[in-house]
Amino acid sequence: MRFDLVDLHLFIAVADERSITRGAVRAHLALASASARIKGLEQTFGAVLLRRGRRGVELTAAGESLLDHARIVIHNVDAMRGDLAAYASGVRASVHLLANTSGLSEHLPKALAAFLREHPDINVDVEERESTDIAAAIAIGAADLGFAAKHALPDNAERFRFSEDRLILVAPRRGEFAGRRQIDFQELTTCDFVGLTNSIALQGHIAKHASRLGMRLRFRARLRDFDAICLMVAADVGVAVVPEAAARRCARSMPIMMIKIRDPWANRRLAICARSFKALPRPAKQLVEHLRKAAQ
């Protein structure tokens, strides 16, 4: 087979743009050269990769398969370049990890800190995403590892359980829910809430399930920090939904109470996931082994 990285970059660009013309521009190639390269790929693989039409191109099943593999190849090449370039600056490697809000704020910091202390030659680039977005990114090879709710992961994603992540309602100790141990989320329709900013992934998760129940949550304040949210609840500004780990920590020093939310979506299992643990670069494999040992 004869094809190169330019061909793969071009094919990804054409697939993303759904146009050979726009793909050629994005890949910095002349249209004639781009067309010839696409035809060369089809001849190399002996399969039609694109269906041409007036409004652009559509991927065939073979094209979808090639796109999937091309993204993995380009991701691995970029990782290789980054790792080798890092040798010149004294840092060996970097691992790209996507994590949901709870993982990033409550479950990962301690384990990551220990890993980074033990491996001064490895950097970890952590990016916050919603669990469903993490699953999609891992599926196309856009990141090395993901830390997401297990229910959001596709069957073909490899994973192992890391921790439980129950979402808890926190309320003032002397408020209207005093004495309650459990509650259905639907009961909170008329409540004032203290929540996370819209840019934070967990807030999207909560808002999505509220919408499915026909609820429109009323927010008195939006903050980026669970401790700050719990302080607002303690001051009787409203109620809030936060991870149980954060709620327990804050309840030790604040006059708030924790109430179990009965709805199934509030009880999540968090997992470390990858497209293939075996195919990961060595630094990512080292992080995986560390996280396996740290799993609760």
User: What integer best gives the mean pLDDT of the chain?
Assistant: 90
- 162 within 8 A of 290, measured Cβ to Cβ: no
Distance of CA 268 to the CA centre of its chain: 15
Instruction: Name the packing angle between helices 201-212 and 131-139 (round to 10°).
Output: 110
Kindly state the tokens that stand for 262: 């009965």
Query: What value does the mean pLDDT take over residues 134-148?
Result: 90
- Same domain? 159 vs 202: no
- Same domain? 157 vs 185: no
List pLDDT tens digits, range 11-22: 999 999 999 999
Confidence band of 281 (pLDDT split at 50, 70, 90)? confident
Query: What value does the mean pLDDT take over residues 123-137?
Result: 90
- 168 within 8 A of 247, measured Cβ to Cβ: yes
Distance of CA 281 to the CA centre of its chain: 19
- Same domain? 125 vs 195: no
Total number of domains constituting the chain? 3
- Same domain? 107 vs 93: yes
Given this model, what pLDDT does residue 87 score? 61
C-alpha–C-alpha distance, residues 248 and 184, integer Å: 20
Q: Which residue has the higher pLDDT, 168 or 77?
A: 168
List pLDDT tens digits, range 50-98: 998 888 899 999 999 999 889 888 888 877 776 676 666 555 678 999 9
Domain assignment of residue 174, given as a range: 166-267
- Same domain? 181 vs 155: no
**Of the residues 15, 50, 72, which one is the last residue of a structural domain?**
72
- Same domain? 59 vs 93: no
